[in-house]
Amino acid sequence: MVNDLIQVTSRFGAVQCGGPVTLNRLLRTLDNLTDPRVQFDNINQRFSLAVTVSSVTANDTPALWVAATRTDDPCGTWLTYRMAFHGDATPAGTFLDFPMFAQDTRSFLLSTRNCLTNKGCSRFIAFAIPKASIYAGAHVDFPYFNVDSLTAPVTHAGQPMVDSGGVSFFLAAVPDVGYKLYVLVPTPFGPLLGSRTFSSPFSKPRPARQPGTNIEVDSSDGNITSSPTFDGTRIWFTHVVDQETFPTVRYGAINLPDVTVSIGYASHSPWSDDFNPSLAVVLSPRRQTLYLNWASTDAVVAKTATSAVAVAVDAAQPLKNLFGVSTAYATGGNASGATPVRFGDYSSVSVDPTTSDCVFATQQYFDVNGSWRTRIAPLGDCGGVIIKP
């Protein structure tokens, strides 16, 4: 079991709320929990959390938890919901794996990869939960929608968040095809999900190599594994693709007004393996900045260890390939052991709601002892923020 407790710190690294608390205690449940996601609503000034129920048996009703604070204080009271799922894509015994959590002005947006023991993970769903119901502590009911593959909910940039006129977005990367955009539209008869495909073919990446060992790290199958960002006209995304046999970060934007897609590539060096990316867009009075964050290894030429790297891009300019321009904000060692290692699986860039141009990048890397760790780093104009490794 991983990621089973929550700890709140100030912007200067001071631990709040009397120290960490387990998710089981926060939610008052005996469920086995995994894959938590936390975000902040800068309009309603509330934190929210989603975490899935693991260790599912054949007769269990699939479930995940969603919670939100009553105020802007994460140390205060949380409203908690255990969401049970029924339907063709969520039969008894389904594990709602790899939940992704995002938001727009009206809804919490989630997606999952649905797995059954001995049958694999062949179903995928996406859904929206009205914020108003959660914040009011009211009854919550919503439909879910089947999607073709692992699909990421799209979060909204801006302080306050930009509005999308009531529609919600979900985005999937499809190898050899490009991107599939799902649009959830409210109607008097309930929400409807439509989709459109954007041609921009790519190949699945191979596993990432590690220096000093033959053990490789899963670099994904080309899926988008962190939330894309809507800036008012464009949906920004990032994922990993094959680029001349190297796992390479691909980033880009779907321009909704003219229905086009633009892409660029990013790597720490010409010979690095680059994976586990995420991004955020900062809309400030001075400029529009894209922050891109990923993990990198070099097992071929420099033979360096795993690094967490990041770069800031002027989002108002045409996209370009970013090779060797990133900054390493954490370095570590190699994966240990004689079996393939699953990487830390989490990457994010979160905008600081208290300033106009500061983000916090979260990335996994292998420490010198061969186990993965989390590094949080402030990027941009963050003042005197101090984050310890």
pLDDT digits (tens, 9 = 90+) for 27-76: 999 999 999 999 999 999 999 999 999 988 999 999 999 999 999 999 99
- Number of other residues whose CB lies within 10 A of the CB of residue 283: 19
pLDDT band at 2 (very low <50, low <70, confident <90, very high): low
| DSSP bridge partners of 264 | 251
C-alpha dihedral (26, 27, 32, 35), degrees to nearest 10? -80
C-alpha dihedral (318, 109, 71, 25), degrees to nearest 10? -120
Pair 155, 109: CB distance under 8 Å: yes
Nearest residue to 292 via CA among 303, 282, 301: 282
Compute the average pLDDT of residues 171-190.
96
Q: Can you give the pLDDT at residue 133?
A: 97
pLDDT digits (tens, 9 = 90+) for 117-129: 888 999 999 999 9
> What is the residue extent of each domain of the chain?
1-157, 202-389
Rounded to two decimals, what is the model's pTM? 0.94
